[in-house]
Chain A
Amino acid sequence: MTLTRKLFTFAIAAGLTVIGTPVRARTGETPRTIAITASKFHFTPDRITLKKGQPVKILLTSSDRVHGFMIRALGIDTDVVPGKTGEFMVTPKTAGTFKAICDHYCGLGHGFMKMTVVVE
């Protein structure tokens, strides 16, 4: 399964909105883009804030090795592969604070690799 298909599958499973590239929100405005970089052993940024009901484009890259990016509460679970940019749309439907973790073992600091996703 390709990364794109994998992301699409996860997004659909989560009930998220997925739109093709170039991505446009229904209003015609370009949605906000958030770039997240995974590296041993942290995500940058380590905290993001989203708005409930507002689509956002997530760009995922790795600076060193394969990592994972999982937010179980939002149904997101994918690998982040060096040299590739994972791209997907998220439209949060529920407010709350969620934890994203790396779920692809990446070394001795793997257990500390997490970030916070706040949906307002």
Chain B
Amino acid sequence: MKEAIDRRSFLRVAGMSVGVGVVYQFAPMLARNAEADTITGFLKRVNGEPPSSFTFAQFSDPHVGFQGPPDPLGTQAFEGAVALINKLPQRPDFVLFTGDLTHDAETRDLHAQRMRLFKTIAGRINTPAIHTVPGENDAALDQGVLYREHFGDSHYSFDHKGVHFIALDNVSRGRPEIGPDQLAWLKADLSRYPRTAPIVVFTHRPLFDLKPEWEWFTADGDAVMNVLAPYENVTVLYGHIHRRHFRRFGSAGHYGARSLIFAFNDPAANEEKKQLPFDRDQPFRDLGIRLVSRNAGATSALEVNDVELTAREFSGTSGIQQMIKSNTSKTEGSSGDLD
């Protein structure tokens, strides 16, 4: 059934991690012809808006307020990331922040001060919109009260150029879970969409058991994934683990993101979770660029190009194209760390 195949492969997802975050590009895969117009018309009817090309960025875990060790640079990586994004030839349509915007604080006043500083820095990004979800540092101690005062609802959804975005809060209940009320909301929200609708979920913790002993899981993540399972185009973006990671469950690809403060060690090779030590010679070590593309006509293979940044390049003295030093590739069906 040709039309069904084409609908499933209608979007390509290209991600470009700039170490500081990840830039995702959505673009229609179909050539401009009568068949494409037919499918575009179909998606416009069922989704309300036909998909069109756009770019957005993912930033994660800036932990504003954290001071080393292991990272004595405070917000410098975050601010550098903002400057780098602002050098892109095309500004992203929006930026997603996947939690731990701030580092937890001893007092409410200090925590509020950190949230204001986060908003000041994030406000410098040359983009029309910023969307956030909380991390446990932002919202777990007070059930998200202070977070909502500064950033609004902690779970919500919106549509953008034919793609449905869902923000899930898996921290505000204290435990790593979204809870029954949010799960019911998710079911109701998704019920409005056909199974062919492109869906992006962004949240803080991984929805699956990545490393439960390190609290890298969501207790009711299976229930969330069961709700998402019928949908054919699902991408889940998350933070929390401070390193890149990819795993596929059914039609859903789950992408873990680097942080903007420090990296954690490899969960597959270590029993104890540790922050990687600060390297004065490479202050932004473990930051890099990821270029992800899906070739037109291919329905399953993602090409991923990972690039390491240097401090000189990170400082903005080189153009973004010059930052590409090496390429590695990984297919969409692979699982594990992307380093």
A residues sitting closer than 8 Å to B (CB atoms) are: 66, 68, 70, 72, 77, 79, 99, 101, 103-108, 110-111
Give chain B nearest CB distance to A13 CB in angstroms. 12
The interface residues of chain A lying within 8 Å CB-to-CB of B106 are 108
Q: Are B212 and A111 in contact (CB under 8 A)?
A: no
Q: Are A66 and B141 in contact (CB under 8 A)?
A: no
Q: Are A105 and B213 in contact (CB under 8 A)?
A: no
Give chain B nearest CB distance to A14 CB in angstroms. 14
Query: Which B117-163 residues sit within 8 Å CB-CB of chain A?
Result: 136, 140-141
> Is the contact region of chain A dominated by helix, strand, or loop, or is it mixed?
mixed
Partner-contacting stretch, out of B82-90, B168-176, B192-200, B277-285: B168-176
Q: Are B215 and A103 in contact (CB under 8 A)?
A: yes
How long is the Cα–Cα vector from A66 to B142 in the complex, in angstroms?
Answer: 12
Give chain A nearest CB distance to B219 CB in angstroms. 7
Q: Are A101 and B213 in contact (CB under 8 A)?
A: yes
Q: Are B215 and A79 in contact (CB under 8 A)?
A: no
Any A CB within 8 A of the CB of B44:
no
Pick from A77, A99, A110: contact of B219, CB under 8 Å: A77
Q: Are A79 and B213 in contact (CB under 8 A)?
A: no
Give chain A nearest CB distance to B235 CB in angstroms. 27
Q: Are B104 and A101 in contact (CB under 8 A)?
A: no
- Nearest residue, chain B, Cβ from A110: B136
How long is the Cα–Cα vector from A92 to B215 in the complex, in angstroms?
Answer: 23
B residues sitting closer than 8 Å to A (CB atoms) are: 104, 106, 136, 140-141, 171, 174-176, 209, 212-213, 215, 219, 273
How long is the Cα–Cα vector from A101 to B176 in the complex, in angstroms?
Answer: 12
Q: Are A105 and B212 in contact (CB under 8 A)?
A: no
Q: Are A103 and B273 in contact (CB under 8 A)?
A: no
Pick from A70, A99, A103, A108: contact of B104, CB under 8 Å: A108
How long is the Cα–Cα vector from A103 to B220 in the complex, in angstroms?
Answer: 13
Q: Are A105 and B171 in contact (CB under 8 A)?
A: yes
Total A-B residue contacts, Cβ distance less than 8 Å: 32
The interface residues of chain B lying within 8 Å CB-to-CB of A77 are 219
Query: Could you show 23 A-B contacts with beta carbons less than 8 Å apart?
Result: A68-B174, A68-B175, A70-B212, A72-B212, A77-B219, A79-B175, A99-B213, A101-B213, A101-B215, A103-B175, A103-B176, A103-B219, A104-B174, A104-B175, A105-B136, A105-B141, A105-B175, A106-B141, A107-B104, A107-B141, A108-B104, A108-B106, A110-B136
How long is the Cα–Cα vector from A101 to B140 in the complex, in angstroms?
Answer: 16
Known contacts A72-B212, A72-B213, A99-B213: A105-B273 contact under CB 8 Å: no
- Nearest residue, chain A, Cβ from B103: A108
Give chain A nearest CB distance to B268 CB in angstroms. 16
The interface residues of chain B lying within 8 Å CB-to-CB of A105 are 136, 140-141, 171, 174-175
The interface residues of chain A lying within 8 Å CB-to-CB of B171 are 105
Interface centre among B106, B212, B273 (most CB of A within 10 A): B212
Interface centre among B136, B209, B215 (most CB of A within 10 A): B215
**Further 16 A-B residue pairs, CB within 8 A, beyond A103-B219, A108-B106:** A66-B174, A68-B174, A77-B219, A79-B175, A101-B215, A103-B176, A103-B215, A104-B175, A105-B140, A105-B171, A105-B174, A105-B175, A107-B104, A107-B141, A111-B215, A111-B273
How long is the Cα–Cα vector from A99 to B271 in the complex, in angstroms?
Answer: 10
The interface residues of chain A lying within 8 Å CB-to-CB of B213 are 72, 99, 101
How long is the Cα–Cα vector from A107 to B137 in the complex, in angstroms?
Answer: 8
- Nearest residue, chain A, Cβ from B209: A72
The interface residues of chain A lying within 8 Å CB-to-CB of B174 are 66, 68, 104-105
Interface centre among A105, A106, A107, A110 (most CB of B within 10 A): A105
- Nearest residue, chain A, Cβ from B104: A108
Give chain A nearest CB distance to B41 CB in angstroms. 48
How long is the Cα–Cα vector from A11 to B223 in the complex, in angstroms?
Answer: 20
- Nearest residue, chain A, Cβ from B173: A104
How long is the Cα–Cα vector from A32 to B58 in the complex, in angstroms?
Answer: 52
How long is the Cα–Cα vector from A111 to B140 in the complex, in angstroms?
Answer: 13
How long is the Cα–Cα vector from A105 to B170 in the complex, in angstroms?
Answer: 12
The interface residues of chain B lying within 8 Å CB-to-CB of A104 are 174-175
- Nearest residue, chain A, Cβ from B211: A72
How long is the Cα–Cα vector from A38 to B136 in the complex, in angstroms?
Answer: 19
